[in-house]
A and B are shown apart, each in its own frame.
Chain A
Amino acid sequence: MNTAFRNQNFQLLSGNHAVAIGAKLANPDVSPVYPITPQTPILEKMIELQSQGELETEIITPESEHSALAASISASLTGARVFTATSSQGLLLMHELLHYAVGARSSIVMFNVNRTVASPWGFWPDQLDSLAQRDTGWIQLYSETPQESLDTVIQAFAIAESARLPVMINHDAFYVSHAVEPVEVPDQSVVDDFLSPFQPPIKLDPEIGRSFGAPIAQQTWNESRRDLAEVMSGIGELVTSTGRQWDEMTGRRNHGMLESYRLEDAEVVIATMGSMCGTVRDAVDSLRNQGVAAGLLKVRLFRPLPAAALREILAEMQCVIVLDRNYSAGTGGILHQELKGVLYGLDSTPKIHGLLAGVGGTSVSSEKIQQLVTSYKDAAFSLEPVWVE
């Protein structure tokens, strides 16, 4: 055991209960939520903690996710700390307000459980729900384990409130949301030291007497987006420094924008997000034992895309295999598209394969990933998306 476990307060928690406890430790003032499978255990745990007097938050249970996010935005603009959680159809129903939340510079932390989107109906892990929100301006982080979900919720409040931008954290349905693991729960005092009170410079307050969101002319609208771009350009550094600070205070590791696993001297790198990273770690170890120099590049921060950092790592590589648990009809895997874009203009670029693996929640085993690496590491590049089940 290393210093990562020095506090020793381990609890057996599902990913969703870890999220609820992380949110509780951050002490949100207002939590508007609407139930949806597989997010519901987050909501129910928070309500249970509230009814036991362990969590003092205004829980709002409106008629829909649309209203849950609307209430979150306005609550945040009063200077309240706000948490909400959803999944799949719920996130899609929020779409209009997702854009609004960013333009209004609200500081909401939202947890989204990645689930397939209808039609047809399914309840399985698939990241299209959140990836389809990539143009809304939400900071997006993807978590691999219950522990990472708990840690990331707490960090997300620091990021959201400092940047005055909303943060969406995602973990996969069931593989993380319902999987139970020993999770180290930090002391309240650690979280209190880590999170400064939320004090936005302007807020909805009769004493301040300023309005929000009124119609504006073209030039001012344009400037609002330039302001946003400026803030966005600093988010990578903010995520990195926030993660570093958390790691220093808790003895944990790897809360940066990206994580490299056995990437030194790798001849092939597998890039992916979320729970798939765990399986890839196992596959990488096996491949290394078989003499194949494979490594994992885990993308933790997806929005804003850490383009420079990705470019630096990938430029050194010969072959990149992207595993996308999502399918953007008409183009292919979304992480694949993004990584191709990042590589443009380098003197020499690695070969990059986009594989649609696990779309709709189909199981992708370590053995399957090993096979994929063996078959694709020397294969020709294909412009078309490749379905690998």
Chain B
Amino acid sequence: MEQINYTDQGRFCSGHVACGGCAEAVALRVILNIVGPNAVAVVAPSCTAVICGAWPGSSVKIPVFHTTLESCAASASGVKRALVKQGKDDTLVLGLAGDGGTYDIGLQALSSAAERNEDILYICFDNEGYMNTGGQKSSSTPLNAATGSTPTGKATRKKNIIDILAAHRIPYIATASPSDINDMAAKLKKAISLRGTKFLSILIPCLPGWGIADDSAVKVARLAVDSGAFPLFEIEDGVRVSMKPRDNPLPVAPYLKLQKRYLHLTDADLEEIQANVDSDWQRIQQRADQS
């Protein structure tokens, strides 16, 4: 287990029902501490919705509207516009959804909200699959990962949601990881300081879905970041990219080897994934260099 040095504001309550050891609890804690009390969350069906709690309890100290799976960005737009109309301009409206609710069924609503540049902070908890329904693939599931609907490994690569959103030229896009919570906090603060649609993608290694040890979520997230499988970077206005340079990149194998969803990988599969990670990284780095 990793020791994390962090001062909590107590806005995320104990007794929540995330799987013991799930890093999404860490991420939610950081998010709620940063957004403070003047916020409303819209949540799509997902682990996040379950973690926020079943009536009559709630594990989060802000009001939550539980919307439908395809509607997160549309419902968040409705809340924001209505609050503005009532003079509550300063209330932050969060859209919280999983990768399925973002990359797949919710993409149409998200694209439309982004195009309108709705003043919302949309956070995608990316556990790379439909975990709430027992672990089927989403279009965020990476190449070759086994899921309930891709038992022999997914045949296609993870959808590049970041570039899709960048093409909408929204003010702010960032990736974050529960292994780097101060970085996550800084990105949240920056997002909140901007008007318009902000998008944050947070990697959530899923214990049952990825087949990893109960105490390893943060470690797995760190390996994802350090190997470049999940690079941490920001894009402003769809064009200005900033990323910490990668001095000593780890190979991707140690990251993959901790996960049962990759048990079946051959050496050739591993090489292909490594090559994809390297070329993706270079592409982002080049854009960062040009920014």
Contacts and interface: CB of A to CB of B under 8 A. Distances in A.
Shortest 8 CB-CB contacts between residues of A and residues of B: A63-B104, A64-B105, A35-B133, A51-B151, A35-B136, A44-B148, A40-B133, A63-B105
25 contacts: A35-B130, A35-B133, A35-B134, A35-B148, A37-B133, A40-B136, A40-B148, A43-B149, A44-B134, A44-B148, A44-B149, A47-B148, A61-B136, A61-B137, A61-B149, A63-B103, A63-B104, A63-B139, A64-B70, A89-B68, A93-B70, A119-B66, A120-B55, A120-B66, A121-B66
A192 B201 CA distance: 50
Task: Categorize the interface residue count of chain B.
Answer: 20 to 34
Interface string B109-148: 0000000000000000000001011101101000000001
Contacts of A48: 151
B160 to A, nearest CB: 15
A241 to B, nearest CB: 37
Given A36-B133, A37-B134, A59-B149, 16 more contacts: A35-B130, A35-B133, A35-B134, A40-B133, A43-B136, A44-B134, A44-B149, A51-B151, A61-B149, A63-B105, A63-B107, A63-B139, A89-B69, A93-B70, A121-B45, A121-B49
A37 to B, nearest CB: 5
Contacts of A36: 133
Contacts of A93: 70
Nearest to A62: B104
B202 to A, nearest CB: 21
B152 interface: yes
Contacts of B151: 47-48, 51
A121 B66 CA distance: 8
Contacts of A34: 105
A118 interface: yes
How many A residues are at the interface, by size bracket?
20 to 34
Nearest to A90: B69
Contacts of A121: 45, 49, 66
B17 to A, nearest CB: 14
Nearest to A41: B134
Contacts of B132: 37
B105 A44 contact: no
A92 to B, nearest CB: 9
Contacts of A119: 66
Interface in B55-90: 55, 66, 68-70
Contacts of B107: 63
Nearest to B151: A51
Nearest to B137: A61
B145 to A, nearest CB: 14
B152 A51 contact: yes
B134 A40 contact: yes
B79 to A, nearest CB: 15
A326 B136 CA distance: 30
Contacts of B69: 89
A63 B105 CA distance: 5
Contacts of B139: 63
Interface string A5-25: 000000000000000000000
A59 B55 CA distance: 37
Contacts of A47: 148-149, 151
Contacts of B70: 64, 93
